[in-house]
Chain A
Amino acid sequence: MAQQRQRPSLPDDLRLSGGFNVIKGEDPGDFGDNGEHHGTHVAGIIAARGSAPKGRLGIAPGVSLRSYRVFGKKGGKSPGGTNFDVAKAIDRAVADGCDLINISLEMLTDAENPATPDSVIRDAIAAARSAGVLVIVAAGNQDRGPVSFPAADERSVAVSALGRKGTFPTGTSESGDVAGPFGKDKKNFIAAFSNIGRAIDLTGPGVGIISTVPGGYGVESGTSMACPAVTGFAARILGRLPDIRKQARNQERSDAIAQALFASVRDLGFKPEFEGHGLPS
């Protein structure tokens, strides 16, 4: 794919159909990896197209994936990552016709209350929902702290991180993420780092997740990883629901996507503040 050859910072197993870099002073067309690998890992969970034995598939490898970069190049002049950058990226994704927006970041300007909203991002999320777009957000990783903003916004789909014993080697750092209470299947747990609370809508796998990084694959843990697992699943559901896809782009459409997602879950046996409706499956 020609676009990929122009973007060597993206792994071969990840194909973008477009995007935008919102960072002032950087090339708007440079929406690939910024040197931190976080966004590339998140993107691969949704849509990696690798094949065995070396490659891996994301949850929705056939999806049209777009990247909106809100953090500056590592070592660059502008760090980015402001409420302006995030709102600009959301607005742009909506204008470009995206159906789902994955947000694997959090705002911690008020350490006492991480759920404190930012009016600009809040309005951008509201505008997205009004334009038929579902916004799925990582709950944050403050060790069972309250769900952080923007996941805490009532229009966001907030995602906690699920782990499963036996899916990572004992003695690795993931072992420290194991914490009770456990689910109906005692191997399942909500990660010790995951934020929890009444704002949680869903849970997704977020411990010891293998996904794309420049040059290959790497392991990461976090609600940042759980969030794209849910987004990928939402994309698969939406792919099976042409009636919703054809709906006028308004609040009813984004509500219908959310309801279809919430109706496609498995109750793992945790309290709602840990898993919300459950695990999409």
Chain B
Amino acid sequence: MMGRFILRYTGSGPTPASFVEQVRSHQDVSILDESPHMLLVDGPEAVLRRLLETSSGWLLVPERSVSLPDPRPQVERPPD
């Protein structure tokens, strides 16, 4: 399944640079954004899971949205 995923390093010590380079150089995966502990990538989930077999301490999670809590009732459909 193609999609946007987050790779988050939860291991001890610095993020393994060699693994990040492995992801960066993979032809089927694009790095969209990065931070000291995470990569936001676009690519096939199966490929990412295979890559993770070579490095431990990573979470692989689909990108998801958060929202602002709105206390007011919402109109499902504007009045005609």
Contacts and interface: CB of A to CB of B under 8 A. Distances in A.
Q: Could you say which of A38, A119, A148, A173 has the most chain B C-beta atoms within 10 Å of its C-beta?
A: A119
Given A24-B33, A119-B59, A119-B61, A83 B71 contact: no
A contact patch SS: mixed
A133 interface: no
B68 A36 contact: yes
A92 B10 CA distance: 15
B52 interface: no
Given A24-B32, A120-B8, A83 B63 contact: yes
A88 B72 CA distance: 29
Contacts of A36: 68
B66 A107 contact: yes
B8 A87 contact: yes
A207 B35 CA distance: 37
A158 to B, nearest CB: 12
Contacts of B64: 82-83, 107, 109, 118
A141 B6 contact: no
B40 A84 contact: yes
Contact of A105 (B10, B59, B67): B67
Contacts of B48: none
Interface string A3-23: 000000000000000000010
Interface string A75-95: 000000111111110011001
Interface string A88-131: 10011001000000001111110000000011100110010000
B72 A105 contact: no
A177 interface: yes
A266 to B, nearest CB: 24
B53 interface: no
Given A91-B37, A119-B59, A123-B59, A224 B68 contact: yes
Contacts of A85: 66
Contacts of A156: none
Contacts of B68: 36, 38, 71, 104-106, 224
A222 interface: yes
Interface of A: 22, 24, 36, 38, 70-71, 81-88, 91-92, 95, 104-109, 118-120, 123-124, 127, 138, 140-141, 148, 161, 173, 177, 191, 193, 221-224
Interface of B: 6, 8, 10, 32-33, 35-38, 40, 59, 61, 63-72
7 contacts: A82-B65, A83-B63, A106-B67, A106-B69, A107-B64, A141-B69, A161-B71
Which 6 residue pairs of A and B lie closest in terms of their CB atoms, listed nearest first?
A: A193-B71, A141-B69, A141-B71, A222-B71, A24-B33, A88-B35
